[in-house]
Amino acid sequence: MVPAAFCRQTARFRAARCASVCRGARRGTTAPPRDRCAVWSQFAVDSAGLHCTRDPPRLRVRRRAALLTLAAIGCRRAAPKDDTRAAREKMVDAIAARWPIQPRVLRALREVPRHRFVPDLPLADAYADKPLPIGEGQVTSQPSMIAIMTDALELTGKERVLEIGTGSGYQTAILAKLSREVFTVEILRSLSDAARARLDALGVRNVRFRVGDGFKGDPEHAPFDRVLVTAAPRDVPPPLIDQLADGGVLVAPIGDPKPHPPQRLVRIRKNGGTIAEETLGPVHFTPLLPVE
């Protein structure tokens, strides 16, 4: 426990520093870290405690409470944002140390705030390398798997990408940073609507949302240079291969969600009339839901 006297002393110091910064800002010497500081520029602090140099004594109690509140929240510049940045950097550094991921993909992971896509979870969970619940019995993949799958797409920034399974929208946001345009299909309207709202709030404008059957893809906007499937069908649905452009790449987990045999992450390349498939490794994903 922190002694009460120490808390009061710290509060007075922070309030004095805040008032000093704000008075300096009026003189044009120092810009206030946050606008709320300006309202308190009339207050001063002396060795006897907190008091106001302008208002009558009867307001002292109210002012004191207000100043202590201000001291508690501080005049720091968006400390929570700094915390999320540090958590994100730590997450990406851990991924980079373990997997040979392209720098462009790592940069996108550093820029997209994962905590905005799982707002009900603590910050430590949001940036942990693990799947997270997103509602409707669904989960979002762990960041390292998102990095691996995105890396496997070999994006250059010019591609039109089809994503099957919008989920929380986090993977969608990563794709949007790395490609020209993203078309994302989600079977659950509630998830699609929530993801759209999150991406709108982040200013993402190169994503088109569709509620529908992921097994059927998005024939209206085909062909696509890249296709990413974020849940596991037993086999790659033929319509998705049909909608893949010549020279395109498709990445998907396939197989039943059982321990044996394990699901596989596969990459398919389409060149002319030839379809080449390679296995990238064992994985475990929730099944891709069909329309019933």
Average pLDDT over residues 135-163: 97
CATH number of the domain to which 253 belongs: 3.40.50.150
Is 54 inside any structural domain?
Answer: yes
Residue 170 sits in the same domain as residue 274: yes
Two tokens, residue 236? 């790659």
pLDDT in tens, 90-112: 999 999 999 999 999 999 999 99
Residue 62 sits in the same domain as residue 146: no
Active site residues: 141
Is 291 inside any structural domain?
Answer: no
Is 107 inside any structural domain?
Answer: no
Query: Among residues 73, 96, 124, which one ends one of the domains?
Result: 73
Q: Could you list the residue range(s) of the whole structural domain that residue 250 is in?
A: 133-283
Comparing CA positions, the residue from 67, 86, 248 lying closest to residue 156 is: 248
- Confidence at residue 112, expressed as pLDDT on a 0 to 100 scale: 98
Is 263 inside any structural domain?
Answer: yes
Is the confidence at residue 7, as pLDDT, over 70? no
Is 78 inside any structural domain?
Answer: no
In this prediction, residue 57 has a pLDDT band, given cuts at 50, 70 and 90, of: low
Residue 137 sits in the same domain as residue 264: yes
Residue 259 sits in the same domain as residue 156: yes
Residue 56 sits in the same domain as residue 176: no
Is 85 inside any structural domain?
Answer: no
In this prediction, residue 16 has a pLDDT band, given cuts at 50, 70 and 90, of: very low
Count of the separate structural domains present in the chain: 2
pTM over 0.85: no
For the chain, the residue count is 292
pLDDT in tens, 228-285: 999 999 999 999 999 999 999 999 999 987 766 789 999 999 998 899 999 999 999 9
Is 222 inside any structural domain?
Answer: yes
List CB contacts of 224: < 8 A, sequence separation 6 or more: 159, 160, 161, 162, 183, 218, 243, 244, 245, 248
- Confidence at residue 62, expressed as pLDDT on a 0 to 100 scale: 55
pLDDT in tens, 66-79: 443 333 333 333 33
Residue 43 sits in the same domain as residue 142: no
What is the C-alpha separation between 201 and 145, in angstroms, rounded? 25
What is the C-alpha separation between 125 and 107, in angstroms, rounded? 21
Is 115 inside any structural domain?
Answer: no
